[in-house]
Amino acid sequence: MIPSGDLSLAFICRLCEHMARAKEQGRDQCNQPCGGPSKMLAFPCYQGQIERTYLAKFCYLCGKNASKTLDVGGRGKLGMCETHAKDLTTLTT
């Protein structure tokens, strides 16, 4: 099940305990030294209900089943659904 809430946040962030605490405190960011592929990271500070080893099975942006895997410079792998994989291809070509 995809968590509800702020859909402008990546799926991984919506699952993360750091973000949940930030939201409880009325903040929009968790202030962890974290991030996704745009920062050449694979959400290293993530702590949540899906074990890190399974994160690549879901699109890191929307939570749908991943059809592709993105290797983030050896820092980890993230899943991408067909729609977001197409968007990435369009943006990088």
* 50 inside domain: yes
Q: How many domains does the chain have?
A: 1
Note whether 41 and 49 are within 8 A (CB).
Answer: no
Instruction: Say if 32 falls within a structural domain.
Output: yes
Is 81 a member of any domain?
Answer: yes
Q: Is 70 helix (H, G, I), strand (E, B) or coil?
A: strand
Per residue in 33-89, pLDDT (tens digit) is 999 988 999 999 999 988 888 989 999 999 999 999 989 988 999 999 999 988 776
CA angle 61, 81, 87 (to 5 degrees): 75
By the 8 A CB rule, do 79 and 59 touch?
Answer: yes
Whether pTM exceeds 0.75: yes
Does 5 map to a domain? Answer: no
